[in-house]
Amino acid sequence: DPESELFSLPDEHSGLVTRRAGPRNLTVQMQQIGMLAEVEDDLVRVFEEGGGLPYDKFPRFQALMSDSSERRFKSGLIEQVVPLLEMTDALQAGIDVADVGCGSGLASYLLGQEFPNSRFIGFDMSTEGIARANEAAKDLDNVSYQVADAAALNQGPNFDLVTTFDAIHDQAKPKDALAGIFAMLRPGGTYLCVEPKASSVLEENLQDPMAPFMYTISTMHCMTVSLAYGGDGLGAAWGHQLATEYLTEAGFRDINVEGIRHDPGNNYFISTKAIS
């Protein structure tokens, strides 16, 4: 306002760029732009020389992902994600659940609070994230966390439900991770795999208004981290076709792809391990 020399934020704008916007708050994702700018010179170098940038080149990544996870999980994990699985009764009665690539562990923490008869464990290769998770959950007897590589868990068939939230495409060896998850499940167990909503066919993503941002994040973080460890470099836009192919190859059956209102940027792949 030129007369008062005051700036104002219209309600329709604040609905997208403030924390009270909940899952619609775009500023949480936009914080990643600053993080990515810090590695631009290093990224140009590996484009020329080959290889990638390891996780320690992104010291703010865990904190930013925790912020994003809090927004997403608190707004819909219990109310929208759990009903998709059709396992509410089982969770109330008591089952064993693992979250692979759990980051700071918020999903297991919230589920552990909601379903005290079930047992939850989170795995992640980040010692920082696991330390934070164990500290946050110290008052919950049914929740724990361990430092572990998703591609080398060797847990045996001890779980009724395994979840991954935007974790598989970052793996150096995603097929090994999926094979390990399959081995973790008891016969008849369920796997929830949440991955960015995209097609494996580039031209089918071009009309998505979030595609430029998705490909930017993918190129400057997801792919380069995987390549740094000699990985496949799938990237965030590996797409539902390739994800379904990988799940099938790992042995999963009855693969359904769902979406939920509070998280429009992700696909929710729900699959099972056959009883026999």
In tens, the pLDDT along 237-247 reads 999 999 999 99
Cα-based distances in Å from 181 to 54, 101, 252: 24, 11, 10
For 125-147, what is the mean pLDDT? 93
For 114-133, what is the mean pLDDT? 94
Q: Hey, what are 25's tokens?
A: 């708050």
Q: Hey, what are 248's tokens?
A: 């099938």
- CATH number of 265's domain: 3.40.50.150
Give the pLDDT confidence score for residue 264 in this predicted structure. Answer: 86
pLDDT surpasses 80 at 72:
no
Task: Please report whether residue 8 resides in a domain.
Answer: no
Q: Hey, what are 236's tokens?
A: 């965030």
CA atoms of 180 and 190, how far apart (whole Å): 14
Q: Let me know: does 118 contact 112? Beta carbons within 8 Å.
A: yes
Q: Hey, what are 112's tokens?
A: 């552990």
Count: domains in the chain: 1
Domain of residue 177 covers 27-272
Task: Please report whether residue 90 resides in a domain.
Answer: yes
Task: Please report whether residue 136 resides in a domain.
Answer: yes
In sequence order, the 6+-apart residues with CB closer than 8 A to the CB of 213 are 29
Name the more confident of 24 and 250.
250
Give the pLDDT confidence score for residue 23 in this predicted structure. Answer: 62
Give the pLDDT confidence score for residue 19 in this predicted structure. Answer: 66
Task: Please report whether residue 146 resides in a domain.
Answer: yes
In three-state secondary structure terms, 175 is helix
CA atoms of 232 and 197, how far apart (whole Å): 19
Cα-based distances in Å from 223 to 167, 237, 245: 12, 10, 19
Task: Please report whether residue 70 resides in a domain.
Answer: yes
In sequence order, the 6+-apart residues with CB closer than 8 A to the CB of 249 are 175, 178
CA atoms of 49 and 195, how far apart (whole Å): 30
The fraction of the chain above a pLDDT of 90, given in percent, is 71
Task: Please report whether residue 13 resides in a domain.
Answer: no
Q: Hey, what are 210's tokens?
A: 């979030």
Q: Mean pLDDT over all residues of the chain? A: 91
For 146-175, what is the mean pLDDT? 92
For 174-194, what is the mean pLDDT? 97
Residue with tokens 């904190």: 63
Cα-based distances in Å from 148 to 101, 120, 177, 193: 9, 15, 11, 18
CA atoms of 269 and 258, how far apart (whole Å): 6
Range scoring the smallest mean pLDDT among 13-17, 183-187, 257-261: 13-17
Task: Please report whether residue 189 resides in a domain.
Answer: yes
Res. 263 pLDDT band, cuts 50 70 90: confident
- Express each pLDDT in 194-214 by its tens digit: 999 999 999 999 999 889 989
Task: Please report whether residue 20 resides in a domain.
Answer: no
pLDDT surpasses 90 at 117:
yes
